[in-house]
Amino acid sequence: MPFIPHTDNEVREMLDAIGVENIEALFDEIPDSLRIHDVPGVPESLSEMEISRLMHERAGRDGQPACYIGAGAYEHHVPAAVWEITTRGEFYSAYTPYQAEASQGTLQLIYEYQTMMAELTAMDVSNASLYDGATALAEACLMAVRAHRKSKSRRVLVPKSLHPLYRRVTEVIAGTQNLEFVDLPYDPTTGTADLEALRQWQGEDVTAVVVPQPNFFGCLEDGDALTDWAHENGAMVIGVVNPTSLAVLQPPGDWGQAGADIVVGEGQPLGIPLSSGGPYFGVLCCRQKFVRQMPGRLVGRTVDEEGREGFTLTLQPREQHIRRSKATSNICTNQGLMVTAATIYMAMQGAEGLARVAAASHDRTRKLVGLLEDIDGVESVFDGPFFHERVIRLDRAADEVLAGLSERGILGGLSLKEWYPELGEAILVCATETKTDEDLAAYRDALRDVMAENRAA
C-alpha cells in the first residue's frame, strides 16, 4: 500500500481499541445511499520506477526548444544551490509558520525576503508574497481602494501597455467589488503610456494609476511624470515591476517627487523556473502608512521571553482566519516555497550579481534586435529605451514565421496579433543572460531562412 505503514496486526489492535470490527464500520455515519466502493476511472497504481519512466518520457517529448519568449516569464540561470536548499524537507514539507517557535527558519527567511524586496523596490515594507504578479496587481487595486478613503470613484487608470493577462486577471478578481478600470492608450511611436491622454482625467476623481515598468512591450515608461501627475491629481500610484530590472533601473520608491505608493510584480525571474507558468509568486510592497491595508502574511522581528531575537507572523488581525468576512483578502496560503528560492537566489546574486544579470539581459536583447533588424522585412516597432524585450514587426504572417521557427527548435517570440492587432504582424522577443552570441546568430539565421521560405510561399 503506497505510503501507508500499517501492518495487519496493528490494524487489528487499533480496531480493537476503537471497538469496531473493521475499517468499514468507521464510515457508518455516512448515509448508505452516498457510499461508493470503487473509483473505476482511476488507473491502477504505478511504482516509483514505473511513474519515473512515464514522466521522463513525457518531459522528453516536450523537447527543450531555444526560448525567446518573455511576456511575463523569463528564462534565467538558477544557481544549483537554490533548489537544492529550497527542497530540503525542513522547508519543503513545513506548514505556514503559525507555531513560531517551531518555524524560526521559515520566519527568519521571510523577514530577510521582506527586507530584500523593500531594498529592491525602495519601498518601506513588503509582505510575504501573493500568488503571482497578476493577482498581486488585483490585490493592490483593492488595497488602493481601501487605503484611499477620500476617493469615491473606485476608478483605476490602466495603461494599454500593461500585460494584457494582468489586466484580465485584475478584472476578474477585483472586478467583483465594482472597481472601474479605464484604459490609458499608448503612444504608437514610443510604446509607452500617452501622457496627453491623461489630461482628460485632470481634476477627475481617480483612485489609482497603474505604472508598468518595464511595460509589456519592454519599453520604459516615464515613471517620474506618471507618478507626479497621479499625486498632483490625488491618485495613488501602483507600480508593476520586474524585480530583476530593479538592480539597474530606478526603483519605484524613487519615481517622481514622492515615489510609488504600492509596488507589485512577478517574482519568477528571481530563481524560479519557467515551469509552464507556475508556481511563481507575487511581490507586494508599500509605504509604511498603508501596511494595515496589506493582504497576505507579514513577518515581524521581536524578542522572546529571554530577550533573544526571534520572528513571528504579525498584524494577523488583517487576515481571514481572524477577521473572517471583514479581512483584507481571502488569501491564506501564499507561495512560501517560491519565496524561499527567491531569497536564496537574491542572497547568492547580491546587488552586483543581479545587476549583471539585468545588464546582460538588456545587452543580449539589444544585440538580438540589432541582428534581426538586418534581415529584410524586419523592423523594430517602438523607439525609446527598453529593458530586455522588444516588439519587432515582420512583413509577412507572424504566426507562420513563428511556426517555422518552432519546427527548427526555436520559440522565436510571442505573436501580438490577438492582443494588439493594430501593431500588424508583430512579435515580442526577449533574450536574457542565458543566450550566447552563437545562440543569437542561430536565431538570426533561422529567421532569415524562414522568412525566405515564407516569401517563396
Partner 1 sequence: MLIFEHSREGRRAYAQAPQERPELEDIPKQFRRKSAPGLPSVSELQVVRHYTRLSQLNFSIDTHFYPLGSCTMKYNPRACNQLAMLPGFLSRHPLGPEEHGQGFLACMHELQEMLREVTGMTDVSLTPMAGAQGELAGVAMIKAYHDKRGDHERDEIIVPDAAHGTNPATATMCGLKVREIPTGPDGDVDLDALKEVVGPKTAGIMLTNPSTVGVFDRNIEEIARVVHEAGGLLYYDGANLNAILGKVLPGDMGFDVIHMNLHKTFSTPHGGGGPGAGAIGVSKRLQTFMPGPVVRKEGDRYRWSRADELPDSIGRLSAFMGNAGVLLRAYVYARMLGREGMKRVGEYATLNANYMMERLREAGFALAYPKRRASHEFIITVKRQAKEHGVTANDFAKRLLDHGYHAPTMYFPLLVPECLLIEPTETEAKEEIDGFVDAMASIDAETREDADKVRGAPYTLPVRRLDDVKAAKQLDLVWREGSKAA
- Report the nearest approach of partner 1 to the CB of residue 447 (Å): 16
Nearer to partner 1, 88 or 396 (CB): 88
Cβ neighbours of residue 432 closer than 8 Å, sequence gap 6 or more: 70, 74, 75, 76, 357, 360, 361, 364, 365, 388
Cβ-based nearer residue to partner 1, 94 or 234? 94
Per the CB < 8 A criterion, the answer to whether 272 and 297 are in contact is no
In the complex, least distance from residue 429 CB atom to partner 1, rounded to whole angstroms: 13
Q: Minimum CB separation from partner 1 for residue 216, in Å?
A: 11
Do the beta carbons of residue 138 and residue 292 sit within 8 Å?
A: no
Question: Cα separation of 57 and 79, whole Å?
Answer: 26
Q: Are 446 and 411 in contact (CB under 8 A)?
A: no
All three cell numbers of 362, joined, read 538588456
For 209, list phi and psi in degrees, rounded to 5: -120, 130
Q: Among residues 186 and 255, whose Cβ is nearest to partner 1?
A: 255
Q: Smaller CB distance to partner 1: residue 234 or 316?
A: 316
Output 221 or 425, the one with its CB closest to partner 1.
221
Rounded to a whole number of angstroms, the minimum distance from the CB of residue 315 to partner 1 is 6
Shortest Cβ 158–partner 1 spacing (Å): 15
CB of 426 to partner 1, least distance (A): 15
Task: Tell me how far apart the alpha carbons of residues 319 and 328 are, in angstroms, rounded to a whole number.
Answer: 6
Largest Cα–Cα separation, the chain:
83
C-alpha cell of residue 219? 519599453
Nearest distance from C-beta of residue 243 to partner 1, angstroms = 10
| Closer residue to partner 1 in complex, CB, 234/355 | 355
Whichever of 13 and 374 has its CB closer to partner 1, that residue is 13
For partner 1, the closer CB: 142 or 208: 142
Nearest Cα neighbor of 68 from 389, 424, 417 is 389
- 3-state secondary structure at position 446: helix
* Residue 105 CB, nearest approach to partner 1 (Å): 4
Q: How far is the CB of 450 from partner 1 (least distance, A)?
A: 15
In whole angstroms, how close is the CB of 144 to partner 1 at the nearest point?
15
Per DSSP bridges, beta strands 282-286 and 125-126 are: antiparallel
Backbone angles phi, psi at 240, to 5 degrees: -120, 110
Q: Which is nearer to partner 1, 234 or 310 (CB)?
A: 310
Nearest residue (CB) to partner 1, 234 versus 385? 385
Residue 265's CB: how many other CB atoms inside 10 A? 30
Provide the grid cell at 285.
510592497
What are the CA-CA distances from residue 412 to residues 141, 147, 157, 163, 333 (Å)? 34, 43, 32, 19, 36
Q: Is the peptide bond before 214 cis (omega within 30 degrees of 0)?
A: yes
Nearest to 187 by CA among 213, 163, 222: 222
Query: What is the rounded CA–CA span in Å between residue 449 and residue 26?
Result: 69
